[in-house]
Chains A and B, each alone.
Chain A
């Protein structure tokens, strides 16, 4: 009877030693990524809870603050981010089919759309800075403004800022994953890194799907212009 080391088939270099198969490895990675994303849900959930509580306590301030946000730019950015989710989903699909160069191309498209989003976002931040609606740094709202308007804008900057920070992290990760994809580092059996990046990016999209109506759309009707 020969020893195990002699009869064991050659192990693919892409399969970590603790896993029996690539399938098991992929499932473990997806599950781990979801555990991380649930933690992210709790992180943003805390911010959404602050939003919920303060909006319940000061509804007029939130309506007024929301009425100052540019709905057209917000809608545009929502569409841009959804587009980036599509290109990321297509990149993951290319990875599944071992089309590394196409995957890299779609990641590059995702990065371009992410940069468009951040560009529009910085234009919006610039307007708020110009209008002196940045709590703590440059805050001089009109005298008739609701005394709790700062709560809305503080939440606006923290929530969109944390979201933008997540996008920046995603952009950095995309550089590495795109490089690996371009060099053929992902096969149809092993594309764990690409799949996890996809999950992360779609989560960033998810957060924005809720931020957009809660921040931009409150004041479109009602007493404020």
Chain B
């Protein structure tokens, strides 16, 4: 992994990186707004989340400099999202497998 470094210890990215990420984020926003007008059934959610996930990755890697961070920063930043996914999976494994109980609505 190359480090575009200029200062004593920082990682000063060239300006074009920030503008390229900005344009990609704007493009992703317009794309997700447009795709939402097409009825893809269940796929709408997956496409929207895939676009949002890509945008989030761009923000984390470049705006938040994680790409040029130490391994410890990588572990910390990944841990939150990995645990969140575990949380979602276990919660939904519960809700999706519950049997209806007599007297309870829904």
A residues with a Cβ closer than 8 A to B are 21-23, 26-27, 30-31, 34-35, 37-38, 41-42, 45, 48-49, 52-53, 56-58, 71, 75, 78-79, 82-83, 85-86, 88-90, 93, 96-97, 188-189, 198-199, 202-203, 205-206, 209-210, 212-214, 217-218, 220-222
| A93 partner, pick from B18, B29, B106, beta carbons under 8 A | B18
Q: How large is the interface on B (under 10, 10 to 19, 20 to 34, 35 or more residues)?
A: 35 or more
Interface set, chain B 53-85, CB cutoff 8 A to A: 55-56, 59-60, 62-64, 69-70, 72-73, 76-77, 79-81, 83-84
A-B CB contact pairs (8 Å), 30 listed: A26-B10, A27-B72, A27-B73, A30-B73, A31-B73, A42-B80, A45-B87, A49-B88, A52-B91, A53-B92, A57-B95, A58-B106, A75-B30, A82-B25, A83-B22, A86-B18, A90-B18, A96-B12, A189-B8, A202-B60, A202-B63, A206-B60, A209-B56, A210-B56, A212-B29, A213-B32, A213-B36, A217-B32, A221-B39, A221-B44
A-B Cβ contacts below 8 A, count: 139
* B91, chain A: closest CB distance, angstroms: 6
Q: Are B8 and A213 in contact (CB under 8 A)?
A: no
Interface contacts beyond A86-B22, A202-B63, A212-B29: sample of 14 additional A-B pairs, CB < 8 Å, sorted by A: A22-B8, A27-B72, A30-B73, A37-B77, A49-B91, A89-B63, A90-B18, A96-B7, A199-B64, A202-B60, A206-B60, A212-B32, A220-B36, A222-B39
Q: Are B84 and A213 in contact (CB under 8 A)?
A: no
Interface set, chain B 80-102, CB cutoff 8 A to A: 80-81, 83-84, 87-88, 91-92, 95-96
Nearest chain A residue, comparing its CB with the CB of B94:
A53
Q: Are A188 and B19 in contact (CB under 8 A)?
A: no
Q: Is B2 interfacial (CB 8 A cutoff)?
A: no
Q: Are B12 and A31 in contact (CB under 8 A)?
A: no
Nearest chain B residue, comparing its CB with the CB of A90:
B18
State the majority secondary structure of interface residues on B.
Answer: helix
Highest count of chain B CB atoms <10 Å: which of A79, A82, A203: A82
The distance in angstroms between the C-alpha atoms of A222 and B37, with both chains bound, is 9
* A129, chain B: closest CB distance, angstroms: 25
| A41 partner, pick from B44, B55, B80, beta carbons under 8 A | B80
B residues with a Cβ closer than 8 A to A are 7-10, 12-13, 15, 18-19, 21-22, 25-26, 29-30, 32-33, 36-39, 44, 48-49, 51-52, 55-56, 59-60, 62-64, 69-70, 72-73, 76-77, 79-81, 83-84, 87-88, 91-92, 95-96, 106
**Across the interface, which residues of B come within 8 angstroms of A221, CB to CB?**
36-39, 44
Nearest chain B residue, comparing its CB with the CB of A210:
B52
Q: Are B29 and A82 in contact (CB under 8 A)?
A: yes
**Across the interface, which residues of B come within 8 angstroms of A222, CB to CB?**
39
Nearest chain B residue, comparing its CB with the CB of A34:
B76
